[in-house]
Amino acid sequence: MVFVSLLLVVLLVLIDQTIKYFVISNIALDETFYTFSIGGHNLFSITHVRNNGAAWSILEGKTVLLTVVAAVAIILVFYLIASKRFRLKLEVVMLSLIMAGGIGNLIDRIRIKEVIDYIRTDFIDFPVFNFADICVVIGAIGFCIAYLIIESVNNRKKRSVVIGALGDTQNEVSNADEIDILSELSNVSDIETESSINSGDDKNEES
């Protein structure tokens, strides 16, 4: 699964860099190449912009810091994938998406000191983003959902085991009670038998 996840990372990074190469080669900076509209309302457009910070221009100009943070995050995600800590395929795929998105934007920061963005949402005030950002967001949300599902299933299994163990204990207690009752009945029968024998002996002695 690790090998497959790395192949997925390479494929996604290639897609990201291919789209960015097309944007750089065919669209001038701050130029809109295409606008998608429905009923006269613009939904999103392909607009070539650059970002030397994070989302909403946070840490603008802090390229070195952002590069280091991104590199550390990528190494951490790779460690989680390689350690095989998460055995569910969906979790590994989501981690691969996060890793691919991080690498895609990291290449931009190393190569041109800023990230190439091109997807602008015209119906809402939202930062322009790219394919790598989409990978990171989908990967993060998908991983959280998969993790919560797995935790829920594991908790149910644990409760089932506990309930089963309690049921076995109750059965053992019930069986022990039954054995004690049978023993008491047996003792009562023995006492009655002894009493009958003693009564018979007394009568014989009197006669």
Q: Name the residues annotated as catalytic.
A: 117, 133
Cα Dmax for the chain: 132
The closest of 125, 103, 126 to 115, measured between CA atoms, is: 103
Q: How far is CA 167 from CA 47, 86, 160, 172, 176, in A?
A: 65, 32, 10, 9, 14
DSSP 117-172: EEEEESSS----B-HHHHHHHHHHHHHHHHHHHHHHHHHHHHHHHHHHHHHHHHHH
Residue type for position 63 = T
Distance CA 62, CA 200 (A): 109
SS3 5: helix
Question: 147-154 contacts: CB < 8 A, separation 24 or more?
Answer: 147/86, 147/91, 150/88, 150/91
